[in-house]
């Protein structure tokens, strides 16, 4: 019998992705990966910066495919320790404290100076200062998708976090390069029942 996947948001809220046998669930996971774009400078040291997020590609019951990019928070509890280290080293994604959020979370940071680029800038264009996934100035910039192996099957499930504020839709035409995952790389923690 299939098991539910539990996502712990770290703030007492939990999302449960029901077992694949539930009939009323609208999305099928097609791809998951890390989406990277550039074009803006770090707000603190002015070095070239990159914005990254988890890219989720899903198909609805009618067969329409949607590309979304957003926060790492829904997936952090499932990432392996080795992958968390790779996120920090390669992409500057680290657990950082945000005064705005009043909490620590997995966020984009500058690879040069370590300054935090909070989710409200990367995905929401806060005060018109947003980055590569939210600010109109950067929405034509190309992106690279680093595919990950899927942490669960492609059966229909409810993905409640796929909504503006947490995630933004991405125009597929922006993705100019796709890098396949290393076979056997431990992206995910082992699932427990």
Q: Kindly tell me if the per-residue pLDDT of 4 is higher than 70.
A: no
Half-sphere exposure of 89 (CA within 13 A, CB side): 6
Q: How confident is the model at residue 163 (pLDDT cuts 50, 70, 90)?
A: low
Tell me the per-residue pLDDT of 165-193, one tens digit each, with 9 for 90 and over: 667 888 888 989 888 887 667 777 775 54
Q: Residue 8 has what pLDDT?
A: 36
Tell me the per-residue pLDDT of 17-31, one tens digit each, with 9 for 90 and over: 434 433 334 778 888
In whole angstroms, what is the distance from residue 110 CA to residue 42 CA?
6
Which residue in the block uniquely carries the two structure tokens 């076979």?
Answer: 183
pTM above 0.75, yes or no: yes
What are the residue boundaries of the structural domains of the chain, listed by start? 27-179
In whole angstroms, what is the distance from residue 107 CA to residue 98 CA?
9
In whole angstroms, what is the distance from residue 123 CA to residue 130 CA?
7
């Amino acid at each position: 019998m299939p098991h539910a996947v539990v996502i712990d948001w770290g703030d007492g809220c939990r999302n449960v992705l029901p077992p694949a046998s539930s009939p009323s669930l609208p999305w099928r996971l097609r791809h998951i990966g890390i989406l990277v774009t550039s074009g803006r400078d770090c707000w603190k040291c002015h070095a070239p910066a990159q914005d990254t997020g988890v890219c989720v590609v899903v198909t609805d019951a009618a067969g329409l495919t949607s590309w979304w990019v957003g926060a790492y928070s829904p997936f952090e509890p499932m990432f392996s320790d080795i992958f968390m280290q790779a996120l920090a080293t390669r992409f500057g994604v680290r657990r950082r404290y945000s005064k705005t959020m009043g909490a620590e979370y997995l966020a984009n940071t500058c690879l040069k100076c370590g300054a935090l680029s909070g989710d409200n800038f990367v995905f929401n264009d806060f005060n018109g200062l947003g980055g590569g996934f939210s600010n109109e100035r950067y929405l034509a910039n190309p992106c690279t998708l680093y595919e990950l192996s899927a942490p669960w099957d492609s059966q229909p499930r409810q993905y409640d976090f796929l909504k503006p504020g947490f995630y933004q839709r991405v125009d597929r035409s922006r993705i100019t390069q796709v890098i396949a995952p290393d076979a056997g790389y431990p992206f995910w923690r082992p699932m427990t029942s």
